[in-house]
Amino acid sequence: MALNERLSEQKIVEQQKDIYKISRFLYILEAALEYFISLLVTGAYLAKITSAIGMSDTTTGILTSFVSLGFGFQILAIFLASKRPVKRWVTLLHCLNQLAFALIYFIPLFDISHGARIILFIILLLMGHILNNVVNSPKINWFMSLVEDKRRGAFTANKEMVSLIGGMIFSFLMGSIIDRMESSGNINDAFIVCGGSIFILMLLHSFTLIFSKEKPAEDKEKTSSVKLLKDLLADKNLFRVIFVSVLWSIVNYSSTPFYGSYQIKELGFSMTFVSVLSAAYAVVRSIFSRPMGKFADKYSFAKMLNICFIIALVGFIINGFTVPDNGKVCYTVYYMLYAVAMAGINSATINLIYDYVDKEKRIGALALKSTFCGFTGFFTTLIVSPLVGFIQKNGNEFFGIRVYAQQVVSFISAAILIILIVYLNTVIGRLKTNK
């Protein structure tokens, strides 16, 4: 009898442990669907719309940089931290943000003036990004609370793999459909397909949120949003952790925003070669995501991040020597090293919060991290852009050797990354984790 009772108790424990299993699966699916939507409102897809409504490249570039400021609105997530159920707010605001993205594709079809189209486009795009950023931190905290600490690395790796591989296939299919429609003179039909696709993805995405479980709120005294914000701003360890993400944001935005034009205009890559590179990037990043995650679970996210930063450093140095004569080889090596590094960096910067910040502060901590990184990315690009423009316009020679702007910014990124590696191993290395 005692044996039966023990077996029964063990079964109950196992059932309780698996109560969030389906929700974790739905989170992986949710992340993939959200990624598919983001692909349709960035890069070449967005360029098709801006071209159709008569927006100049300069205006598009300025608008794109301002979109990064949308991360600044994640600070508003602090005011959602105490709202229950969280999923009600996340689902509602996500629906609104994705609906705004869907409506963007119908702007070229509206019988309104050129100026009205541009204003409507800006409003919808910014609204979509702002709302998405407001709910991002509460959503991450909601689902990550369903994952055991010792499995966070593997879980986030699996989530990223599904998104990247799925996104690669989705982007290829949508790109093929749009190209075929555009070549036959039916660009408006292509816009309808894209807008309709976002709407369908929005419905599926909403279902993943609605049917996911949420952990009951802990029976603690409620803290006002203002007090929580004050506590966050007074937490020195939190800012030490956030500073890792801020420095990485400077590294990233010092160089990577300018590589697109570099590939085409200076290295002379064809669109086919760029597409192959993008596919290879997704595959390599997916392959290395899981080993990186397992390493982090076994040792720590800080140690995994250190390895990723060193790999990225080697990549930036190689790219610093990339010129048209060796472009295809050197840039490919750089890009694959960058893919390996990024297999761990994004998930690690989030999981550092979970390693070093108390539970009740995590939503606010994630919000602050994204806020600071958003502003940092924007201003870094704003500062570096004139330098890139000056070199591209005037040219620069050292000892008779032509130096390209992207070589300069790659070495700038490498220099800052060295500082970041030192900081990670000294300051963060001394902090105690929550594990």
For residue 7, the model assigns a pLDDT of: 46
Q: Which of 63-67, 138-142, 199-203 has the lowest mean pLDDT?
A: 63-67
Q: Is 277 helix (H, G, I), strand (E, B) or coil?
A: helix
What average pLDDT does the segment 264-272 reach? 73
The secondary structure element, H or E, covering residue 269 is none
pLDDT at 391 over 50: yes
Neighbours of 271 (CB within 10 A): 10
Q: Which of 147-161, 179-193, 270-284 has the lowest mean pLDDT?
A: 270-284
For residue 177, the model assigns a pLDDT of: 85
**Quick check: 186 and 177 in contact, CB under 8 A?**
no
Residue by residue, DSSP assigns 233-258 as HT-HHHHHHHHHHHHHHHHHHTTGGG
For residue 222, the model assigns a pLDDT of: 57
- Cα–chain center distance at 425: 25
pLDDT at 5 over 60: no
The reply to whether 377 falls in a domain is: yes
Is residue 190 located within the same domain as residue 168?
yes
Greater confidence (62 vs 330) lies with 330
For residue 58, the model assigns a pLDDT of: 53
Q: For residue range 155-174, what is the model confidence (pLDDT) as tens digits? A: 888 888 899 889 888 888 88
Q: Which residues contact 70 (CB under 8 A, 6 or more apart)?
A: 126, 129, 130, 132, 133, 374
pLDDT at 98 over 50: yes
Identify the DSSP state of 54: T
Q: Which residues contact 281 (CB under 8 A, 6 or more apart)?
A: 335, 336, 338, 339
Domain holding 106: CATH number? 1.20.1250.20
Both tokens of residue 68?
Answer: 């990064």
Residue written as tokens 């086919």? 272
Q: Which of 188-202, 271-285, 288-302, 387-401 has the lowest mean pLDDT?
A: 387-401
pLDDT at 334 over 70: yes
Is residue 256 located within the same domain as residue 163?
no
For residue 208, the model assigns a pLDDT of: 94
Torsion of CA 234, 235, 238, 243, to 10 degrees: 40
Is residue 258 located within the same domain as residue 404?
yes
Identify the domain boundary among 213, 242, 271.
213
The reply to whether 14 falls in a domain is: no
Is residue 165 located within the same domain as residue 139?
yes
Identify the DSSP state of 401: E
For residue 232, the model assigns a pLDDT of: 77
Identify the domain boundary among 213, 230, 248.
213
**Quick check: 169 and 278 in contact, CB under 8 A?**
no
The reply to whether 150 falls in a domain is: yes
Identify the domain boundary among 213, 232, 267.
213
- What are the φ and ψ backbone dihedral angles of 306, each rounded to 5 degrees? -60, -45
Is residue 205 located within the same domain as residue 227?
no
For residue 371, the model assigns a pLDDT of: 82
What average pLDDT does the segment 205-213 reach? 93
pLDDT at 245 over 90: yes
Residue 278 — very low, low, confident or very high, per pLDDT cuts 50/70/90? confident
Greater confidence (254 vs 263) lies with 254
Is residue 265 located within the same domain as residue 145?
no
Q: Which of 34-43, 100-109, 234-243, 395-404 has the lowest mean pLDDT?
A: 395-404
The reply to whether 296 falls in a domain is: yes
pLDDT at 327 over 70: yes
Both tokens of residue 24?
Answer: 């974790």
Is residue 242 located within the same domain as residue 136?
no
For residue 1, the model assigns a pLDDT of: 46
Q: Based on the structure, what is the number of domains in the chain?
A: 2
pLDDT at 57 over 60: no
Q: Which residues contact 176 (CB under 8 A, 6 or more apart)?
A: none
The reply to whether 15 falls in a domain is: no
Is residue 284 located within the same domain as residue 194?
no
pLDDT mean across residues, the chain? 82
pTM score, two decimals? 0.75
Is residue 206 located within the same domain as residue 102?
yes
For residue 366, the model assigns a pLDDT of: 81
The reply to whether 332 falls in a domain is: yes
What is d(CA 252, CA 407) in angstroms, rounded to the nearest whole number?
14
Q: For residue range 295-313, what is the model confidence (pLDDT) as tens digits? A: 988 888 899 999 999 999 9
Residue 248 — very low, low, confident or very high, per pLDDT cuts 50/70/90? very high
Is residue 170 located within the same domain as residue 42?
yes
The reply to whether 433 falls in a domain is: no
Is residue 121 located within the same domain as residue 237?
no
Q: Which of 95, 7, 101, 114 is nearest to 46 (CA)?
A: 101
For residue 13, the model assigns a pLDDT of: 47
Greater confidence (340 vs 390) lies with 340
Q: Which of 203-217, 344-358, 397-411 has the lowest mean pLDDT?
A: 397-411
Is residue 105 located within the same domain as residue 177?
yes
What average pLDDT does the segment 78-82 reach? 63
pLDDT at 425 over 90: yes
What average pLDDT does the segment 237-249 reach? 91
Query: Residue 282: which domain range?
Result: 221-427
For residue 65, the model assigns a pLDDT of: 62
For residue 60, the model assigns a pLDDT of: 63
Neighbours of 79 (CB within 10 A): 18
